[in-house]
């Protein structure tokens, strides 16, 4: 009988006291590389930015994340819109991101985040960032992925041999305020124009219809999809594996490690082989980023893995 019908009520659950579920055996010795991470800076809209950054690093260590490849999107809306960051906001954010990566090497590596609506500034930021040690380019939702403004950025990525992480809204059916979001169809058009550039399609669990995305990019071998995002549905990873294969999938987390933790545990329930799980967890990232990007982090003594109850 339901508690509400008997007048009895279940005691509230204290999630902080919950015992974390153990890691599946198939993941115990598998390192994780997160190619879609974010941090905050003193210029963003969070007064607890230091706690946020520290908590991500601590939870990542407990999960076995060897490296977070990360960006900061301008001021995260504090002094210019998140998806339309001003040149000055984005420069400061990229500078802070590289300093943070240096302070936490080899656990953190930096993207150069750019707003394509300022093309000259974007190209200058990319060149400066690459020479300062960045390993990829981050594009948010400032311009549709198939817009010609992105062509020079894609060519720059090819010239420097780095991937482009493109924010994607899965099967966008309408425009949303404060962003010029893209979906897989538009990224496929850009990828077709730049076959020598590797594009990371962000967060298949991020909004919209994830089942639409894999068929939209299946014919684009230079697009890999990251598994991050706020959603985790049964069948999401399974369907992606069937459409594009393990070699084109990247485990990732995005803003927080919560659903990243869930997706890591989900890998062993997809029927994927041990080799395919390792490919998604870290080997594909090693392949698509510049040679040597993760050598130090993978060769460092592994952190003591646990399953954090509050990642």
pLDDT at 1: 32
Q: Is residue 65 part of a domain?
A: yes
Q: Is residue 233 part of a domain?
A: yes
Q: Is residue 5 part of a domain?
A: no
Rg (CA), the chain: 19
CB-facing half-sphere around the CA of 245: CA atoms within 13 A: 9
Q: Is residue 308 part of a domain?
A: no
pLDDT at 24: 78
The residue among 192, 127, 119 whose CA lies nearest residue 157 is 127
Q: Is the pLDDT of residue 310 over 60?
A: no
pLDDT at 26: 79
Strands (DSSP E) contained in 155-236 are: 164-166, 199-201, 223-226
Q: Is the pLDDT of residue 16 over 70?
A: no
Q: Is residue 161 part of a domain?
A: yes
Q: Is residue 112 part of a domain?
A: yes
CB-facing half-sphere around the CA of 203: CA atoms within 13 A: 25
Q: How far apart are CA 18 and CA 308, in angstroms?
A: 10
pLDDT band at 14 (very low <50, low <70, confident <90, very high): very low
Q: Is residue 311 part of a domain?
A: no
Burial class of residue 170, CB neighbours in 10 A (0-12, 13-18, 19+) = buried
CATH code where residue 244 lies: 3.20.20.140
Residue 220: which domain range? 23-299
pLDDT at 309: 56
As a whole number of Å, the end-to-end CA separation of the chain is: 35
pLDDT digit string, tens, across residues 246-302:
999 999 999 989 889 999 999 999 999 999 999 999 999 999 999 999 999 999 887
The answer to whether residues 294 and 31 touch, using CB atoms and an 8 Å cutoff, is: no
Q: How far apart are CA 115 and CA 123, in angstroms?
A: 10
Number of domains observed in the structure of the chain = 1
pLDDT digit string, tens, across residues 158-202:
999 999 999 998 877 777 778 888 999 999 999 999 999 999 999
Q: Enumerate the H helices of the chain as residue ranges.
A: 3-6, 49-63, 87-103, 119-131, 151-160, 184-193, 213-217, 236-244, 258-266, 274-278, 284-288, 295-299
Q: How far apart are CA 35 and CA 20, in angstroms?
A: 25
Q: Is residue 8 part of a domain?
A: no
């Amino acid at each position: 009988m339901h508690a509400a019908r008997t007048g009895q009520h279940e005691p509230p659950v204290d999630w902080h006291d919950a015992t974390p579920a153990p890691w599946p055996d198939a993941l115990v010795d598998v390192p994780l590389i997160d190619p879609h991470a974010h941090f905050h800076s003193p210029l963003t809209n969070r007064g607890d930015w230091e706690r946020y950054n520290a908590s991500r690093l601590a939870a990542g260590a407990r999960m076995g994340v060897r490296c977070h490849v990360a960006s900061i999107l301008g001021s995260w809306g504090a002094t210019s819109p998140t998806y339309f960051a001003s040149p000055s906001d984005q420069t400061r954010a990229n500078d802070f991101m590289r300093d943070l990566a240096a302070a936490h090497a080899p656990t953190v590596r930096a993207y150069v985040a750019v707003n394509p609506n300022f093309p000259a500034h974007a190209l200058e930021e990319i060149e400066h960032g690459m020479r300062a040690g960045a390993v990829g380019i981050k594009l948010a939702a400032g311009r549709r992925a198939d817009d010609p403004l992105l062509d020079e950025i894609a060519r720059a990525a090819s010239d420097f041999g780095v991937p482009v992480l493109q924010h994607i809204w899965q099967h966008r059916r309408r425009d949303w305020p404060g962003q010029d979001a893209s979906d897989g169809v538009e990224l496929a058009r850009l990828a077709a124009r730049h076959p020598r550039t590797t594009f990371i399609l962000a967060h298949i669990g991020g909004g919209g219809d994830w089942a639409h995305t894999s068929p939209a990019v299946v014919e684009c071998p230079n697009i890999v999809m990251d598994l991050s995002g706020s959603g985790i549905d049964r069948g999401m990873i399974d369907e992606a594996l069937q459409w594009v294969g393990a070699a084109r999938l990247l485990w990732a987390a995005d803003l927080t490690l919560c659903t990243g933790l869930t997706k890591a545990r989900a890998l062993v329930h997809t029927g994927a082989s041990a080799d395919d799980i390792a490919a998604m967890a870290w080997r594909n990232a090693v392949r698509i980023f510049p040679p040597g990007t993760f050598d130090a982090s993978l060769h460092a003594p592994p952190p003591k893995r646990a399953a954090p109850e509050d990642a």
